[in-house]
Copies of this chain bind each other. A is one copy, B any other.
């Protein structure tokens, strides 16, 4: 039942990946009656340009470079907040970083395996056994779950092989 976000193996695939994400973001926003403004779209695009988690200030630098003038933090954080609220990206608390969500249609928490070597973050599918386990433990404690943070750091299969 394990499913990871599809990683891109080529430049073309990656481009496809980004445009796919933007397209479905547009559709979702339209459907929900919220506005995917140019700024928000640009932030989303920047986040997707890497499959690796990106810091807010990284995005800020990219924006600034594009524009010439220096963008200010609230500009980026507003974009990120909107995208988070709409489930289009996830925040990785352990890295203070943000990453595109591969399945924004269904609101969900992100479970991640993060490789310390290549920095890729693999999003685990919802309804994994982890999900079940957490729900069960919470139930047992009488704890009402609101937000979950599951971030596993280590070495991915590819990097282990590459030693």
| B-binding residues in A (CB < 8 A) | 2, 4, 93-94, 113, 115-116, 122, 124, 128-130, 132-134, 136-138, 140-157, 160
Contact = CB atoms under 8 A, between A and B. Distances in A.
Contacts of A137: 2, 113, 124, 128-130
What does DSSP make chain A's interface, helix, strand, loop or mixed?
A: mixed
B133 A113 contact: no
Contacts of A122: 141, 143
A147 B153 contact: yes
Question: Which one of A4, A115, A154 has the highest number of Cβ atoms from chain B below 10 Å of its Cβ?
Answer: A154
A157 B132 CA distance: 19
Contacts of A136: 129
18 contacts: A2-B141, A4-B141, A115-B143, A116-B146, A122-B141, A122-B143, A130-B137, A132-B133, A134-B152, A142-B156, A143-B152, A143-B154, A143-B156, A144-B155, A144-B160, A146-B153, A149-B149, A149-B153
